Amino acid sequence: EPEVTQTPSHQVTQMGQEVILRCVPISNHLYFYWYRQILGQKVEFLVSFYNNEISEKSEIFDDQFSVERPDGSNFTLKIRSTKLEDSAMYFCASSVWLAGVGELFFGEGSRLTVL
């Protein structure tokens, strides 16, 4: 069964360092998302991406965050200068249609620990 894959599964970094989280969405999907989940809290929307541009972003997704689809398969989330409060599980997701019209599939997540 096709799945969303994410790397790394766990990354530890020092505050102020840049981090890139990588995702390979399901191959025929057109919409891509990043969500995050701070330990013990809700899953929160960060950004959606369609047709090589951001279609929506949340208040969390400030200038420190960026997304890119550098080739036909990868989808990346970059955090330019990490803060302690960026420590969370980051989930990539993809769907054939815009979320809500069909199924949204999540990857296993990348755990980011900022020290």
Partner 1 sequence: EDQVTQSPEALRLQEGESSSLNCSYTVSGLRGLFWYRQDPGKGPEFLFTLYSAGEEKEKERLKATLTKKESFLHITAPKPEDSATYLCAVHGGTDKLIFGTGTRLQVFP
Subset of 13-32 contacting partner 1 (CB under 8 A)? 31
Q: Specify which residues 50 forms β-bridges with.
A: 31, 53
How far is the C-alpha of 68 from the C-alpha of 74, rounded, in Å? 8
**Residue 70 is a binding residue for partner 1 (CB under 8 A):** no
Q: Specify which residues 110 forms β-bridges with.
A: 90
**Residue 58 is a binding residue for partner 1 (CB under 8 A):** yes
Number of residues that bind partner 1 (CB under 8 A): 28
Dihedral, 61, 48, 69, 28 alpha carbons, nearest 10: 160
Which of 27, 28, 42, 52 touches partner 1 (CB under 8 A)?
Answer: 42
Q: Which residue, 20 or 99, has its beta carbon nearer to partner 1?
A: 99
9 to each of 6, 92, 97, 109, how far by Cα in Å?
7, 12, 27, 6
17: DSSP letter: -
CB 61 to partner 1: min, Å = 11
Q: Is the peptide bond before 8 cis (omega within 30 degrees of 0)?
A: yes
**Residue 96 is a binding residue for partner 1 (CB under 8 A):** no
**Residue 11 is a binding residue for partner 1 (CB under 8 A):** no
**Residue 61 is a binding residue for partner 1 (CB under 8 A):** no
Q: Footprint of partner 1 on this chain (CB under 8 A)?
A: 4, 31, 33, 35, 41-45, 48, 55-56, 58, 89, 91, 98-109, 111
